[in-house]
Amino acid sequence: MTVGMANHDPAMRVRAEELSEVGPALGGDAELIDEGSLRPRNVEERVFAPLKEPEVQAEAFAWMIDRLNTFVGVLSPRVRSAAAEYRPPGD
């Protein structure tokens, strides 16, 4: 499972570049992925056994919920701030 935020707009692109600053607040194993042709992304991955087993499924979804809540809590205020400050080129 992968938890992350794709950078589809300038505000998210700015935030991806600040992972070194927000990384400690995100905790876990969050990292910045920049694969050249794709936009940079803040992601965290964890591999689980097949989700057919109820215990594994419960553990996987609990991890995903926790990580998503953390990503949203840490990154949302920063994205809001960057979006409020953003001025299109030429303005």
CA-to-CA separations, 45 to 13, 42, 60, 63, 77, in angstroms, rounded: 20, 10, 11, 10, 23
The predicted structure's pLDDT at residue 49: 94
Average pLDDT of the chain to the nearest whole number: 78
> What are 75-87's pLDDT values in tens digits?
888 878 877 887 7
Question: Residues 29-36: what's their mean pLDDT?
Answer: 76
- Structural domain spans, the chain: 2-85
Q: Is the pTM of this model over 0.75?
A: no
